[in-house]
Amino acid sequence: MTFDGQNKLIIMDNGEDFIDVRKMYYNWKVWLSNPQNLKYPLAMRYVGGDPIGDTKLGITYFLMNGWKIRPYESNHTLTVKGNLYSDDQSSPFTRTLGNYNVLIKSVVSNIVDIVPTTVYNNITETGTGTGSTTVIEDSDDGWTISG
């Protein structure tokens, strides 16, 4: 892959039909280590990697500042391994220069499940003790949990 800072493109080399997003991020950091490339807007950022017990939270990468990935010039399937999005919520990919059909296949992980929660105030517990029933009430919303 080639990084084109002038046009904010990550251009896939001929025959390169697989992207490991983690490796792409690493390659970009190597490219960025050249002081001449520091004049261009940053291309990527990530979130995640935080320790959770004996493991780490998965990582999601974002293209930013208008950077896009351009597949190589041919009909092919481009497989992308990793969680990749664009900061502006558009596609992280742009069209080839020629009239080619490129199918993009994403291999992603489910690293976050959103569970809606509500924070309640004024929660009280009554009736605790041996042989009694526990009752938890929220006086603001009028709900009760008995156990």
In terms of pLDDT, which residue wins out, 42 or 115? 42
Q: Give the count of domains, the chain.
A: 2
Could you report the per-residue pLDDT of 85-143, keeping only the tens digit for each? 999 999 999 999 999 999 999 888 765 544 445 555 555 555 555 555 555 555 555 55
Range of the domain at 74: 2-107
* Average of per-residue pLDDT across 46-52: 83
Whether the CB-CB separation of 71 and 11 falls below 8 Å is answered with no
Asked if residue 125 and residue 63 are part of one domain, the reply reads: no
Average pLDDT across the chain, whole number: 82
- Whether 112 is in a domain gets the answer no
pTM: 0.72
The SS3 assignment for 9 reads: strand
Asked if residue 25 and residue 87 are part of one domain, the reply reads: yes
Asked if residue 28 and residue 79 are part of one domain, the reply reads: yes
Asked if residue 93 and residue 53 are part of one domain, the reply reads: yes
Whether the CB-CB separation of 145 and 136 falls below 8 Å is answered with yes
In terms of pLDDT, which residue wins out, 31 or 50? 31
Q: Which residues of 35-54 are buried (b: 16+ CB within 10 A; e: fewer)?
A: eeeeebeebbeeeeeeeeee
